[in-house]
Structure 1
Amino acid sequence: MKIFYGITKWLFILCLPMLLFSASIGGAANCAALYRHGFDKYEVGQTTGLSDAELDKAAGGLIGYFNSGEETISLTVMKDGQSFTLFNDKEVAHLKDVKTLFWLDYWIFLGTLVYALVYASFSIWRKEWRRLAHGLVWGSGLTLGLMLLLGIGAMLNFDQLFLQFHLLSFTNELWQLDPSKDYLIMLFPRGFWYDATVFIAIATTVGAVVMGGVGGITYSSAGRSRG
């Protein structure tokens, strides 16, 4: 039984970075304000020729698509008084792959959340406060260490990090788009993805700090009550 408890504890610790990171990715993917910030910062309206209203429509359409049961996206916008389909066949196929990744992220979040809640509930039921707190502190430390590595990698060579992500995540070359004609890469230039990575890392770090703080306070309180 001691081995079983040890395994469940370490699974809990390993779950926490995945829980926080997947939550941050999902939050970024569904954050219209992040899209708008990128559009403004990188002057996407000037690059694409789309008005702010049409850019917001594109962002809303993408967010809706990522959370829908639709297999492919069909998004029509207005430019110079003419309506047209925003994404071509290659972009639509790539967005289908991207949606698959987002849904994988959602499932990882759900799975780790369920395990973390079950473990925490069981620990509280058994009044094993220090054991639970220890797991929270270790999970927080592991998360902070991983975010530090991500931050260093992004600062030293974000382009290489971004390239390796695509090579590992996609089994095709649909992500290799032309910035002179493909609206998807015009909407989301390289700088947007750097900012999104920073956003995700900061959100995950904040979550880890809060979690570690709760764990530390709980550990100290449990120690005093035992004393």
Structure 2
Amino acid sequence: MKKFKFSDLGIGILFTLFFISAGVILAVNFRPLYYLDIKLLEIEKTSGLEASVIKKNYDALIDYNSPFFKGELKFPTLPSSASGLEHFVEVKNIFVSFYAIFAVTAIILLLILIYKKKKRDYTFLPVSSITILALPVIVGLACAINFDKLFILFHKIFFRNDYWLFDPATDPIINLLPDTFFMHCLFIILGILLLGSLFLFLISRIIRKRDYKFRSNP
């Protein structure tokens, strides 16, 4: 294994962005998680709606957030305010950005992997594994301390208005989206990061053992 280079840290950041975007895309599109939370979080009881109606409105929201969806957001059975719809436009823009980050980092990392393989330079693997691991540790500690404050901080960072402060009377969709559900989505993202870190670490170990055997048995 060659010595650590500062560029290895840059590659680690690229891997972190890649796995974060992959985790966000998975969390947004993994509808069974929400369907399970309908029961676990008693959303029927808190919203006063049947599960089938809740699913239809949730599905409309997820369909709208796809980069391939064209048109305006319309909930099948729920009213929406102008500010609420504007917030969801902003949310969609963020999600679309994650799709773009995923595609761009995937292409860049593929080119880097091809180049590094030719050079037989794999120092970026353990460095990337550690770099990826740093974020779940920090966010995990923040969640353990106070998830609600972390949730509010996220909105204040990514949104320049208070449209995310829904009034259930004008935007009843908020009753279908409890904070705990978003925490579960966050767990998926952190899980993807942990798996990505573990994967790179294992690949690094396999390559190191292979190179050791090669040097020991020329």
Q: Which residue of 2 aligns with 1:41?
A: 40
Q: How many residues align?
A: 212
Q: Which residue of 2 aligns with 1:203?
A: 192
Distance in 1 (CA, whole Å) between partners of 2:169 and 2:80 is 13
Q: Which residue of 2 aligns with 1:160?
A: 149
Q: TM-score, normalised by structure 1?
A: 0.85
Distance in 2 (CA, whole Å) between partners of 1:53 and 1:163 is 30
TM-superposed CA distance for 1:222, in Å, is 2.4
Matched, 1:62 2:61: yes
SS at structure 2 position matched to 1:33: helix
TM-superposed CA distance for 1:29, in Å, is 0.5
Q: Structure 1: where are the runs of 5+ without partners? A: 1-5, 78-84
Indicate if the aligned counterparts of 2:57 and 2:75 stay in contact, CA closer than 8 A: yes
Distance 1:144 1:7, change over 3 A: closer
TM-superposed CA distance for 1:224, in Å, is 2.3
SS at structure 1 position matched to 2:25: helix
Q: Which residue of 2 aligns with 1:192?
A: 181
Indicate if the aligned counterparts of 1:143 and 1:205 stay in contact, CA closer than 8 A: yes
Q: TM-score, normalised by structure 2?
A: 0.88
SS at structure 2 position matched to 1:76: coil
Matches within 5 A, 1:1-227: 6=5, 8-67=7-66, 68-77=68-77, 85-124=78-117, 126-128=118-120, 131-132=121-122, 134-179=123-168, 182-227=171-216
Distance in 2 (CA, whole Å) between partners of 1:179 and 1:216 is 52
Distance in 2 (CA, whole Å) between partners of 1:115 and 1:51 is 46
Which deviates more, 196-205 or 29-38?
196-205
Distance in 2 (CA, whole Å) between partners of 1:65 and 1:40 is 24
Task: Determine which structure has greater relative contact order: mean sequence separation of CA pairs < 8 Å that are 6+ residues apart, divided by chain length.
Answer: 2
Q: Structure 2: where are the runs of 5+ without partners? A: none
Q: Which residue of 2 aligns with 1:82?
A: none
Indicate if the aligned counterparts of 2:9 and 2:131 stay in contact, CA closer than 8 A: no
Amino acid across the alignment from 2:193: T
Q: Deviations over 1:70-95 (max 9, x none)?
A: 35301213xxxxxxx44332221111
Q: Deviations over 1:58-111 (max 9, x none)?
A: 22212211113435301213xxxxxxx443322211111100110111111111
Distance in 1 (CA, whole Å) between partners of 2:40 and 2:142 is 23
Amino acid across the alignment from 2:32: A
Distance in 1 (CA, whole Å) between partners of 2:114 and 2:71 is 37
Distance in 1 (CA, whole Å) between partners of 2:46 and 2:84 is 17
Please give the root-mean-square deviation of Cα atoms over the aligned residues, in Å.
Answer: 2.0
